[in-house]
Structure 1
Amino acid sequence: MNEHLILMEPVRLALQGIVDRMQSRMMRAAYSSIAREGGDCAAAVFLPDGRLLAQARSLPLLLGSLIPAIAGVLQRFPAQQMADGDAYLMNDPWSGGTHLPDLIVVRPIVSEGRTIALAAAILHHQDVGGMAPGSIPPNATDIHQEGLRIPPVRWRAAGEVDRNVETLLTANSRTPGNLLGDLNAQWSAVSLGASETAALRARTGASFEAVCDALLAQSERMTREALRQVPDGSWQWEDQLDGDGITDAPVRIAVQLHKRGDALSIDFTGSSAQTRGPVNASPSSMMSALLFFMRSLAPQAPNNAGCLAPATWVLPEGSVVNPRLPAAVNARTATLKLACNAMLSAWSLGASREPLASNAGVATVLSLGGTHANGTRWLLTEIIASGAGASAQADGTSGISTDVGNARNTPVEVIESEAPVRVNTYAIREGSGGTGRFQGGHGVRRVYELLEGQGSISYRGERHVSRARGSQGGGNGASSAARIERADGRIDVLPARARAEWSAGDRLVIETAGGGAWGTAANARAAPENQPT
């Protein structure tokens, strides 16, 4: 036992280094800018029974969903039947996936002839088919409209690609070269994870499994201790989405937290029924919000699934947080962000005498596509940040991905090199954070101009109607806004989720929401209304 204690910290650091290097390799090798520049990908290592052992410090929106994805793969392909060099591929939200552009690759880590761990990588692919370029149609009503749905399949055997699977994938993508390039980046990442984890197992010998169990137990112990420091109680929070992309009817997100001793129940009963539009989030997607929230309780604990042990949760079947097949799910990001924000806000009511103001809860996903003059397709997907809520100690941060979001800014130079688009404006949206003693973080303003031909726009925003709430008398943040300023002077205002066409000379203006403020201020200014500027 003493030997295990001595090895725990070295093994923890080694595992964290492995998954972070997997993440870096995947981003360096990725073809698509959303992964290469935006970091919309994630890597992790699991034990062969499916327990999360270590995860990269990357994108929580994807990290948590790898847990049910691994479970889905193992249900069809038991770990001890896997062979070195095999790889498994999937994206099906009802088998552990998120939405269809997020392809997941899993490789067994084999040592001394048996599977001792699993390396996993998830990446948001540029296009996997469906009714709109980018595979994120904001008006989808059925998952079959969103792209190619892949249950767990064997993609490689002994390192060799199954050409039948590859042919099926490329036939369903508008950008097959990018798809294959990004898949190879994932393969490179899981191969690095496999070799380095096997080497770590060789160095630690028979102690490896016991040390891994001890690290999981340590994470659980530290999380339970953090829970014990908070008085028992029940707290709730409600928020709403600005429609589902089909209607403007608000979509309710409700959560109740019940804390007793070192255990926590998280109940989303009261959330809206599943929607026709694509804002539904499968339970595997919701796992990302749960994992982020539970990790936030004891952030110094080992970065593994042990933190989940004190939690139970309720996701009512047939609701927006647990939809039935064939619900459309591609716009689940807004649902996850508001669900995570709701958990954090409810928790702050019980854990703090000075509850935090709400984050904006917006990660605008924009997909632009079209055809060059020579007939070749172009496609660009990026994620635009918003503002963080203020606290009793400081203003909220402006232009940042909060809670489950951690995507990076896509540089203007990259956008303009990959698409016939000029970025005329990229700036902090001053005045969009709520006003108070401490101001909410401001959102972002982007203005794009199409330079040639015609193109399509798939826009997925949020907070066009609702606002991030202030705390302790602080003001709410401003709402989001989006519009197309036509070359002929017309202005088309876009709702929170929209598809549109534009032509050379048209400008797309996106303004993301601000975070809520904390406390009152005598000279507080009102947050701007949702009006063109």
Structure 2
Amino acid sequence: DDIVVKLLSVDPSNYKDAPTEAIRRILSQLQPDLEPIPKGQLLPLDKIESIRMGTTVSTNALLERRGERCALITSKGWRDVLLIGMQARPDIFDLSITKLPFLYDEVIEVDERITQYQSVVSPRRPVPKDDASVVTNTTTGETIEILRRPDPAVVSKQLDVLWRKEIRSIAIAFVHSYLWGEHEDIVAKIARDKGFEVSVSSTLQPMIKLVSRANSSIADAYLTPVTRRYIESFGSGFEGGIEAFGNKLLFMQSDGGLCTWNNFSGLRAILSGPAGGVVGYSRTCYDQDRGSPLIAVDMGGTSTDVSRYAGKLEHVFEATTAEVTDANLVLGRLLPEHFPKIFGPNENEGLDIEASRNLLDQLTQEINSGQSDDLSMEQVAAGFLRIANEAMCRPIRTLTEARGFECASHHLVMFGGAGGQHACSIAMTLGIRRIIIPRLSSLLSAYGMALADVVCEMTEPAAFILSNAKDQEAISSRMSALVHKAELDLRSQGFPPDRVSSESYLNCRYHGSSTQLMIETPQDGDYEKTFFEEHKREFGFNLSERSILVDDIRVRAVGKSVGQETRSPYKDFDEAKRRSCNIGRFEKKKVYFDGPGWIDTAVVPLQELSRGEQVQGPAIIFDDTQTILVEPTHLATSLPEHIVIDLVEENVIERKIDLRDLEHMDPVQLSVYGHRLMGIAEQMGDILRKISISINIKERLDYSCAIFAADGDLVANAPHIPCHLGAMSHAVRHQARIHGDTLDEGDVLISNHPAAGGSHLPDLTVITPAFHGGKIIFWTAARAHHADIGGIRAGSMPPFSKELWEEGAQMKSFKLVKSGKFDEEGITKILSEDPAKYPGCSGTRTLSDVVQYYMHAMMRTAENAVRDLLRHVHKKFGGKPLEAMDWLDDGTALQLKIDIDQEDGSAVFDFTGTSAQVYGNLNTPTAILYSAIIYVLRSLIVSDLPLNQGCLTPIKVIVPPGSLLAPNDEVAVCAGNVESSQRVTDVIIKAFQACAASQGGCNNLTFGVGPREVDGKKVDGFGYYETIGGGAGAGPDWDGQSCVHVHMTNTAIGDVEMTERVYPVIIHQFSRREHTGGAGRHRGGDGCIRDIEFTEDLDVAILSQRRVVPPYGMAGGEPGVVGANSWLKRTSDGKDWTRINLGGSNQCHMTKGDHILIHTPGGGGYGVPGTVDDRLDEEVYRRSVVAPTRANGSVASFRAAQMSG
């Protein structure tokens, strides 16, 4: 029989190490005739066949920043690769741009570099035969060029410096090392000879993208020493120490496979615990014959892991949730008297229900003070649980619906300590009809380790075309070699051949796309057909005219464990003689349910249920390790190894609401609908990114998705690009006005014209109406930047455009899809090129008037929060108007005066005094001005509030017609969206005195070439566009972040390895521009340095601001340093460069060997340098505004309340 021992993970007053203590207790139980083994005595290994462990040591070290001091070794010019990352900020509304601290202490740049010899867009460069600097035998077969080799003597001296600083662990990540790791190997050997622990990126993760590979290697260097010390410490509790274990000690890896202790590393351990649970439910709950797909929720007290299983392991998504124990306890859903008494100094105390009641009572009083209708403590607790359950359903929908799987077609597996209490509620929310709970649900992660296999996984990068016959032979050969190598590794661990098997995969994508699908080797060997099927299911279409590329070859060899057989819950259910249980024999207790309130509920010991007995809810089924809540009318069936709960339709609570009453809205339902609507917007963005073939969308993430009410007002958005989100409502309202009731189901509109709510012409907006009962009840829209839509320059961002027609194709309104049919001919005629793929603004649902009600309620909540903010601002400034002024680099004035009405919390934003529209492209469509206003207002409210049109309801905007901020329809505007918008935002922030100015632009770089003839053949042209981060402004209690995008944009930047693979460039440097942030009590963030060399002749353009007027400081802080753009023009002899200042905006034709060198501005400082922080007692901009959403039980309140307990 199984022996179950459950201990607290950390209990230093009773034992040093929980796993060792558990083994001691089990060994003592197995020898009842002998004295128990005393604590602290070395444990014998002779009676132990195998120990299988998962560990949170690495995870905790990562979360708590308690890893090993380490250093990053990288290529020259890339010391700040992890500081910059993808340059996007984590929270678009956080002015302080809070980031996690770095894992490394030091960085060393090694003077080495390799690059791609040929690019995807220009593959014509001939490969020389006898050039030692050109290497063709790379891991993928692609050709590289060695620009510089590392000098071992110099590297040795650099490592000596680290050693003197007492750093003993290093990570090595060189540019393009996934292709050719020789330079990394040279440095690794020198380091190991000196005694360093070394993590090599090309060995750990031989895949393209420097940023992710460097992150993985530094995480390994940071965590592996800690993990190994723990393993050695664990081994010290046994006779003979760790070396005596041999292959007896196995650890669960993040991929769900076991490995021996000496092969276990910090990087492989991060998801060790959750991986055990995935293996546990896949082995105990999935039936291969039935094939019913499973969604599993591993719910602990503070975090939740969500995964899907349909015959093979898939990705695990982790969704952090708040502590829910207090709410469950107060509502009677936990049984303190039956809960293990393992708390307190003597391990004999249970749960403290009075402490939970006191906490919830205080919170109820706080909530009721902010609204007219009082809630009971039970209603507050139940509301928290509903919101928590809805929050958990968002990643589940992402894992299913966003990938083409119907959520309701799955069965739900719940496990973990809190899983049983939430199973019915989550299943009802998702529309799932059956729940499976393993009898060892709270121990399933540990049980899964007992069932897991030993795994050896190997991956190699590749660069093959799937349909190419020669490449198919190479794929087969390399896959066979990997299989042999992986299986040999397992046989060396003692596995006989009959217990070793392997699975092989190809990581495939369409040419031009970056979305990869891992395709397991099909039985018929037809990878192409399988790829088509998977792509069609997940995205709804295929690109049959495009080649399928193979990026990686992966092999997973499995050493089958010999263990106990598991039972199928489906077969057991069919074979069981099901009968009703006489629940009258069990005790009853009051349990609170949402709707009916307190109900007498049977309390059923699990061990007293025989096979086939059925318990109808309400009931609580419990044993020593788990508590399962069966909600009213649902039916639980007891099986040998499982509890199966079937949901009954009658358990539906209809909440009647007055659709005209926005003052007495249900705060819980408001938060639930907020989660659902934002979840739809997030799914739209995920699909758009995955199906895109544009680098601006798939890599730079220059897109936004949102949901709008029937009148076009913004309701909910995914956290994308701020300058899009506020402006898109103008575009939607424009289409609603001109089309009225003429649209039909299946119609989709496209627009980009500034007069129709557009930002600039490259930003195309696709708008889809959602119908119910023949009427439009809401709209979805997606806006994305396209690299080239025509105009006078490649990239459609000409620095010197004067009129709109120069910037590309114009569309005020065009019906892209008519009754479900894509009008390819029409859009081709407009763009004069192959149209972009339909970006999939789907995800619409058939919704009732209730949804529209809560859409308006969400806007009302935002409106009230803004009014509250403005009243506080009015009080802070003594009722005086807020005024600010700034100038663009060309001298154009931006002027703002804000008058706040203290009575109703409204404000007038008056931009009178702003200069007239310019003969250039800095003109800013009024829709962009509204984006800047709504962004600033939302950023000043520090609570979990969705950005929506309600933020603008209290605001009146005055803009002089014909000014820079209200230009006519014909003038050029492309820089208004990306540059003037940032400057307007700085002016609004300056008026509120919230923080110093940030870099004040996007630093827009474009390069490319038009179609041309090469060797008598017509060659397509190409265009590339990127924006570059800089310094953020400092604030009252924060230093400005360096090298980030600020305010109105948040696009990522393409990874150096992807960019050099696709385009004919070498990016020599992308680093922090030190000492460019303004001085102050809090210093402004530094700008960036980006140095790009062109390896063929190209047209290049730069469009930027803050090259003349510096970013202002605030409250005595000094301004940031202005930026600079330079052309390094190679001299005629090819030995040197001449430096030419390009100014803020310019265009030129650069030849092979020329560089563009971009220095972006720093942010302004805050406060007089050298002074002490003397913040006001009432700080307006860094406090949590008590808005109705928060006071009425939003996710933010829920988290804050639970964390306080």
TM-score by length of 2: 0.40
Is the 8 Å Cα contact of residues 1126 and 1158 (structure 2) preserved in structure 1? yes
CA distance in 1, matches of 2:1114, 2:942: 24
Q: Which runs of 5+ in 1 are unaligned?
A: 244-249, 349-354, 524-533
Task: Select which of 1046, 1050, 1053 maps to 1:409.
Answer: 1053
Are 1:142 and 2:803 counterparts? yes
Residue 111 of structure 1: how far off its partner (Å): 2.4
Task: Select which of 921, 931, 939 maps to 1:296.
Answer: 939
CA distance in 1, matches of 2:931, 2:872: 24
CA distance in 1, matches of 2:810, 2:850: 40
What's 1:191 paired with? Answer: 842
What's 2:830 paired with? Answer: 169
Residue 319 of structure 1: how far off its partner (Å): 0.8
One-letter amino acid of the counterpart of residue 265, structure 1: V
CA distance in 1, matches of 2:1098, 2:687: 33
What's 2:1044 paired with? Answer: 400
What's 1:495 paired with? Answer: 1143
What's 1:365 paired with? Answer: 1004
CA distance in 1, matches of 2:1061, 2:930: 36
CA distance in 1, matches of 2:831, 2:804: 19
CA distance in 2, matches of 1:71, 1:444: 39
CA distance in 2, matches of 1:127, 1:31: 13
> How large is the RMSD of aligned CA atoms in angstroms?
1.8
One-letter amino acid of the counterpart of residue 37, structure 1: E
Q: Which runs of 5+ in 2 are unaligned?
A: 1-654, 658-664, 1132-1136, 1172-1205
Residue 299 of structure 1: how far off its partner (Å): 4.7
CA distance in 2, matches of 1:136, 1:258: 36
Is the 8 Å Cα contact of residues 717 and 946 (structure 2) preserved in structure 1? no
CA distance in 1, matches of 2:1109, 2:849: 55
Q: Relative CO higher for 1 or 2, CA cutoff 8 Å, sep ≥ 6?
A: 1
Task: Select which of 1156, 1159, 1164 maps to 1:516.
Answer: 1164
Is the 8 Å Cα contact of residues 393 and 438 (structure 1) preserved in structure 2? yes
Are 1:431 and 2:1087 counterparts? no
Are 1:265 and 2:908 counterparts? yes
One-letter amino acid of the counterpart of residue 39, structure 1: L
What's 1:32 paired with? Answer: 694
Residue 169 of structure 1: how far off its partner (Å): 3.5
SS in 2 for 1:191: coil
Q: Flag the 1:288–1:206 CA change in 2: closer, same or farther, 3 A.
A: closer
SS in 2 for 1:12: helix
CA distance in 1, matches of 2:936, 2:995: 15
One-letter amino acid of the counterpart of residue 960, structure 2: P
Task: Select which of 871, 880, 887 maps to 1:233.
Answer: 880
C-alpha deviations, 1:90-129, integer Å up to 9, x for none? 1111121111111111111122333211110111111111
Residue 395 of structure 1: how far off its partner (Å): 1.2
Residue 308 of structure 1: how far off its partner (Å): 0.6
Task: Select which of 743, 762, 768 maps to 1:107.
Answer: 768
Residue 325 of structure 1: how far off its partner (Å): 2.8
Task: Select which of 930, 952, 958 maps to 1:314.
Answer: 958
Alignment of 1:211-226 (within 5 A): 211-226=854-869
> Comparing 367-376 with 478-487, which one deviates more in the overlay?
367-376
SS in 2 for 1:81: coil
C-alpha deviations, 1:457-501, integer Å up to 9, x for none? 121111111101112332210010001101112222111111111
One-letter amino acid of the counterpart of residue 681, structure 2: V
Residue 296 of structure 1: how far off its partner (Å): 2.2
One-letter amino acid of the counterpart of residue 315, structure 1: V
Are 1:286 and 2:929 counterparts? yes
What's 1:68 paired with? Answer: 730
Q: Flag the 1:90–1:206 CA change in 2: closer, same or farther, 3 A.
A: closer
C-alpha deviations, 1:371-391, integer Å up to 9, x for none? 686722121101101111112
Is the 8 Å Cα contact of residues 809 and 831 (structure 2) preserved in structure 1? no
CA distance in 2, matches of 1:472, 1:212: 40
SS in 1 for 2:842: helix
CA distance in 2, matches of 1:280, 1:91: 16
What's 2:781 paired with? Answer: 120
Q: Flag the 1:476–1:206 CA change in 2: closer, same or farther, 3 A.
A: closer
> Comparing 300-309 with 500-509, which one deviates more in the overlay?
300-309
Is the 8 Å Cα contact of residues 345 and 358 (structure 1) preserved in structure 2? yes
Alignment of 1:366-381 (within 5 A): 366-370=1005-1009, 375-381=1019-1025
Task: Select which of 3, 10, 23 maps to 2:672.
Answer: 10
Q: Flag the 1:318–1:307 CA change in 2: closer, same or farther, 3 A.
A: same
Is the 8 Å Cα contact of residues 233 and 260 (structure 1) preserved in structure 2? no
SS in 2 for 1:64: helix
What's 2:1113 paired with? Answer: 470
Are 1:334 and 2:979 counterparts? yes
What's 2:991 paired with? Answer: 346
CA distance in 2, matches of 1:279, 1:448: 26
Are 1:356 and 2:989 counterparts? no
Are 1:459 and 2:1107 counterparts? no
> Comparing 94-103 with 298-307, which one deviates more in the overlay?
298-307
C-alpha deviations, 1:360-405, integer Å up to 9, x for none? 2121111110268672212110110111111232210001111112
Residue 9 of structure 1: how far off its partner (Å): 1.4
What's 2:892 paired with? Answer: 251
CA distance in 2, matches of 1:472, 1:291: 24
SS in 2 for 1:395: coil
CA distance in 2, matches of 1:206, 1:381: 43
> Comparing 488-497 with 161-170, which one deviates more in the overlay?
161-170
TM-score by length of 1: 0.89
Q: Flag the 1:64–1:100 CA change in 2: closer, same or farther, 3 A.
A: same
Residue 66 of structure 1: how far off its partner (Å): 0.3
C-alpha deviations, 1:490-528, integer Å up to 9, x for none? 2221111111110000010001000011233369xxxxx
Are 1:54 and 2:716 counterparts? yes
What's 2:1181 paired with? Answer: none
One-letter amino acid of the counterpart of residue 180, structure 1: A
Is the 8 Å Cα contact of residues 128 and 169 (structure 1) preserved in structure 2? no
One-letter amino acid of the counterpart of residue 690, structure 2: R
Q: Among the aligned pairs, what percent are the same residue?
A: 27
Is the 8 Å Cα contact of residues 794 and 1022 (structure 2) preserved in structure 1? no
SS in 2 for 1:155: strand
